[in-house]
Structure 1
Amino acid sequence: MRAAFIRALSRAAEKDSRIMLITGDLGYRYLEPFAEKFPDRYLNIGVAEANLVTVAAGLATTGFIPFVYSIATFASMRAFEQIRNDVSLQNLNVKIVGIGAGFAYTKAGPTHHSVEDIALIRTLPNITVIAPVDTNQAYSATIAAAKHRGPVYLRLGRNPESGVFAKPPPFTIGKGTVISGGKDMAILATGTTVGLAHEIAGKISGVVKSPTIAVFPSIVPLDHALLRTLVRGHRIWVTVEEHRQSGGFGTAVGEWLLTQTGKIPRLVKAGARDAHSQLSAEHKELMKEAGLTTGDVARRIRATLRSQRR
């Protein structure tokens, strides 16, 4: 996803001389093409994420469109005060790019596992939150973020699977897409969890033959029109995200459901357990400890279906 982001940002920068890239002493292999092509619009501030955001905010007040690039945990948490006061409060045109979201930084350990960032950032007014589902969508989302006037948090995971989309699709902030039509149950995926969503659908095929799978790269704002469509004909929803169960995409969907009248689907939030981990391991092991395996989610779905029959 990082390579797709840089390709898209370079293309956007060719058309808009206001675009800048600011990094915190990382990403050289991916960022070098941009730095070489636009040396006067590239800054390495060093390992000082709070300063990165403040510098970006200052640049935005002069008309630039700065993209702040750092590891998701540090971009969202270490710089949270600056994001709140310098970017959100002032509604400045700053784009914050959090790379390695979820458990992407596997063996780097829990300090680098970004499973709280959506919960934090979506509490702030004015900020759009985007989590592309694959490399091609990351390209399109970057172009959209550059054109959008206002703060954006672009959450990039590491996606080993080939794409959901064969080429960069049209991207509209606030819109999701149904990628597999079905009925009775809807699986709502965000970020790099579409492969897991398909595995879950296969695992429960004995009890739900044809679940709908929809992708929601735009977390703030959510696609309310698509959610309203999915209410019809689906008695259970499963949200899937590489993030804690508390405060993330699933919580945002649940909050929307609570505003609806009439019969609404039961909600299963498939996210990482709300418990700290001390594990430094491969991605598969981290997902297992977090309760995010196909089997874990399938068991919760079956339990919910059984409770509905009582």
Structure 2
Amino acid sequence: MDTMRERFAAIVSRLLDEDPRLAVVLAEIGKDGFADAARAHPDRVINVGIREQLLVGVGGGLALTGMRPILHTFASFLIERPFEQIKLDFGHQGMGGVLVSAAGSYDWPAGGYTHMAPGDVALLDTLDGWTVHVPGHPDEAETLLRDAAAAGDDSVYIRLSAHANSAPRDIAPGRFLTVREGRGGVVIAVGPMLDNVLAAVEGLDVTVLYATTVRPFDERTLRAATAAGAGAGSGAAGAGAAGTGAGTGAAADVVIVEPYLAGTSTGAVNDTLADRPHRVLGLGIPRRELRRYGTIDEHLAGQGLDPASLRERIAGFLRR
């Protein structure tokens, strides 16, 4: 299976052939994947070198001319380092574009903390109007990329990762997908966390929603899922779990598992369920820096996001 980044380069290279409005801006990283496209479209594949603030500035300038810019580099260099340029050159100017990151929270642990960006989505949350996609498989990345490229002038962030689920799902941009239904709570798995979440909740009577778009937050699907679970009137997070029936006035229980900073979307869950009793647990990357090198799986375990750790944390929360 190809990676999300490989699929990104292949798909966007083809889209450049089809849509003269598209342009790609790179900051050295990822240039090899666009070598053929650069030869075919030298005026629309621009490598600014290791100058991330310029990367965003050039993208904003292209948007001002009516182009649809697609910007790409590692998440720490795309969102964190040039954040002021994103805020001004896109947000303040009212321009739109597609920001596509790689390396995620710790895709390249040997690169050290300079190449990790667990806070990228939370940082974008301080700005207005951004759509944020978090695919969990290369096929899903393609679906979301095509949708973003064909959009009008909105601002889109697509968070690619080397961490991926084993199989794609039939996703729709902007909507959560109901993967399974239960009565003892709702667990939202974001992007590449789905496989670990499904393994963690095996045998638990919970609904699992799959989120590949986290902004805007799919309030309608979450409200429907919590209403259905509450209406059933029986919680079953495990042996001896207490019921969560609506008739008893019990709270709706929601766990959200995100591959970036823990708690990034708990506010969105709280806003969605503001008119009804609820409890929410946000699981993700802690603020504490994990000063270790290792594989992605080892980092997941170190952050408590492996299936065994997730099961303990999710079941414990639902039993309380």
**TM value normalised by structure 2:** 0.86
Is 1:225 the counterpart of 2:241? The answer is no
Q: Distance in 2 between matches of 1:297 and 1:118?
A: 21
**Do the aligned partners of 2:223 and 2:272 also contact (CA within 8 Å) in 1?**
no
The equivalent residue for 2:240 is none
The equivalent residue for 1:262 is 276
Shift of 1:75: 0.4
Q: Distance in 1 between matches of 2:285 and 2:171?
A: 30
The equivalent residue for 1:153 is 157
**Do the aligned partners of 1:8 and 1:140 also contact (CA within 8 Å) in 2?**
no
Give the residue type in structure 1 aligned to 2:172: F
Q: Distance in 1 between matches of 2:193 and 2:318?
A: 22
Aligned-partner SS, 1:39: coil
Aligned partner (choices 60, 85, 90) of residue 87 of structure 1: 90
Q: Distance in 2 between matches of 1:116 and 1:56?
A: 22
Report the structure number with the largest CA radius of gyration: 2
Provide closer, same or farther for how the CA distance between residues 159 and 300 of structure 1 changes in structure 2, counting only shifts above 3 A: closer
The equivalent residue for 1:176 is 176
Is 1:295 the counterpart of 2:305? The answer is no
Is 1:249 the counterpart of 2:281? The answer is no
The equivalent residue for 1:186 is 186
Aligned partner (choices 54, 68, 75) of residue 72 of structure 1: 75
Provide closer, same or farther for how the CA distance between residues 124 and 136 of structure 1 changes in structure 2, counting only shifts above 3 A: same
Provide closer, same or farther for how the CA distance between residues 263 and 255 of structure 1 changes in structure 2, counting only shifts above 3 A: closer
The equivalent residue for 1:200 is 200
Provide closer, same or farther for how the CA distance between residues 114 and 300 of structure 1 changes in structure 2, counting only shifts above 3 A: same
Is 1:211 the counterpart of 2:206? The answer is yes
Is 1:38 the counterpart of 2:41? The answer is yes
Figure out how many residues of one structure are paired with residues of the other and give that number: 294
When the two chains are superposed, the root-mean-square deviation of aligned CA atoms in Å is 1.9
Q: C-alpha deviations, 1:199-249, integer Å up to 9, x for none?
A: 2112xx2xx2x4222111111101111111111205422211111114x23
Give the residue type in structure 2 aligned to 1:137: E
Shift of 1:175: 1.5
**Do the aligned partners of 2:91 and 2:128 also contact (CA within 8 Å) in 1?**
yes
The equivalent residue for 1:277 is 290
Q: Distance in 2 between matches of 1:171 and 1:294?
A: 26
Name the stretch that deviates more: 34-43 or 50-59.
Answer: 34-43
Structure 1 unmatched runs, 5+? none
Q: Distance in 2 between matches of 1:37 and 1:296?
A: 49
Q: Distance in 1 between matches of 2:33 and 2:102?
A: 12
Shift of 1:251: 4.0
**Do the aligned partners of 1:158 and 1:192 also contact (CA within 8 Å) in 2?**
no
**Do the aligned partners of 1:134 and 1:192 also contact (CA within 8 Å) in 2?**
yes
The equivalent residue for 1:105 is 108
Q: Distance in 2 between matches of 1:88 and 1:114?
A: 21
Q: Distance in 2 between matches of 1:171 and 1:29?
A: 30
Provide the identity percentage: 27
Q: Which has the higher contact order (CA 8 A, sep 6+)?
A: 1
**Do the aligned partners of 2:13 and 2:34 also contact (CA within 8 Å) in 1?**
no
Give the residue type in structure 2 aligned to 1:43: I
